[in-house]
């Protein structure tokens, strides 16, 4: 997140600016949470429609909202880029417990684009049946910042078609949640919803990045792209 500082002003301008920033951030989070609730509802019967809705609303927010990660001068011309929708990249995946070599109780620092590392726990593994063959990703739980599921990943498109440091699929602290079944212990993983972290648009943002175990050797051509 961008650290905001406001110098004291006799007329209370700093207080007003700080309040406006906080209310805008609350509105941004509210809108993103509502968007993902709509997406989960639509995707039950029409996953392609859900993806189109997600793309459209996010692009509008990135162009118009004061909390957009896109630099203000670039917002009017901003247009999101995406890979073509691929229904083969939507999965209902069982979360498998972490093995004895990676206990769920162990915390570790997750790398950041800038700033101090962020603590997380590896709470399980996701074996994903990609068309190119099964691959495994670690499911993380971020600690100390709102807490929640976190699934960043890197793949063979990074640095050419997508941001070099990877993309996110789930980030419950930011309401990016595609759903799941608690009784069956599963999560919906639809890579058509893969998106870039804020630091891909502006280096002023500090973003947690994918750890080594979440670096895929296949190209995931779905979701947001940069070229």
pLDDT, tens only, 14-48: 788 889 999 999 999 999 999 999 999 999 999 99
Q: Residue 11 has what pLDDT?
A: 56
Cβ-based neighbours of 56, under 8 Å, separated by 6 or more: none
How big is the CA angle at 23 (ends 64 and 35), to the nearest 5 degrees? 55
CA–chain centroid gap for 216, Å, is 17
Q: Residue 113 has what pLDDT?
A: 86
pLDDT digits 0-9 by tens, 141-162: 988 666 799 999 999 999 999 9
Contact 155, 212 (CB under 8 A): no
Burial of 9 (0-12, 13-18, 19+ CB in 10 A): exposed
Query: Phi then psi for 112, rounded to 5 degrees?
Result: -120, 155
pLDDT digits 0-9 by tens, 56-86: 999 999 999 999 999 999 999 999 999 999 9
pLDDT digits 0-9 by tens, 113-145: 887 777 888 999 999 999 999 999 999 998 866
Strand partners, 162: 158
pLDDT digits 0-9 by tens, 172-222: 988 999 999 999 999 999 999 999 999 999 999 989 889 999 999 999 999
Six-digit token string for 18? 């700080």
Is the pLDDT confidence value at 4 over 50? no
User: What's the average model confidence in pLDDT over 2-16?
Assistant: 50
Q: How confident is the model at residue 12 (pLDDT cuts 50, 70, 90)?
A: low
């Amino acid at each position: 997140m961008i650290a905001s500082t406001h110098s004291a002003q006799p007329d209370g301008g700093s207080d007003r600016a700080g309040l406006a920033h906080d209310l805008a951030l609350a509105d941004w989070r509210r809108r993103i949470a509502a968007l993902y609730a709509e997406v989960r509802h639509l995707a039950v019967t029409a996953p392609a429609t859900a993806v189109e809705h997600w793309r459209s609303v996010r692009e509008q927010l990135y162009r118009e909202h004061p909390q957009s990660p896109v630099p203000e001068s670039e917002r009017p011309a901003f247009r999101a880029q995406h890979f073509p929708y691929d229904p083969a990249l939507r999965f209902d995946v069982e979360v498998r417990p972490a093995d004895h070599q990676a206990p769920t109780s162990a915390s570790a620092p997750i790398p950041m684009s800038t700033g101090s590392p962020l603590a997380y726990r590896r709470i399980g593994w996701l074996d994903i049946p990609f068309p190119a063959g099964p691959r495994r990703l670690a499911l993380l739980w971020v600690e100390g910042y709102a807490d929640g599921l976190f699934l960043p990943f890197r793949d063979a498109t990074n640095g050419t078609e997508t941001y070099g440091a990877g993309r996110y699929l789930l980030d419950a602290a930011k309401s990016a949640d595609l759903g799941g079944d608690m009784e069956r212990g599963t999560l919906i993983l639809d890579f058509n919803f893969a998106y870039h972290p804020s630091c891909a648009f502006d280096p002023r943002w500090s973003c947690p990045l994918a750890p080594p175990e979440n670096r895929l050797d296949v190209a995931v051509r779905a979701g947001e792209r940069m070229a």
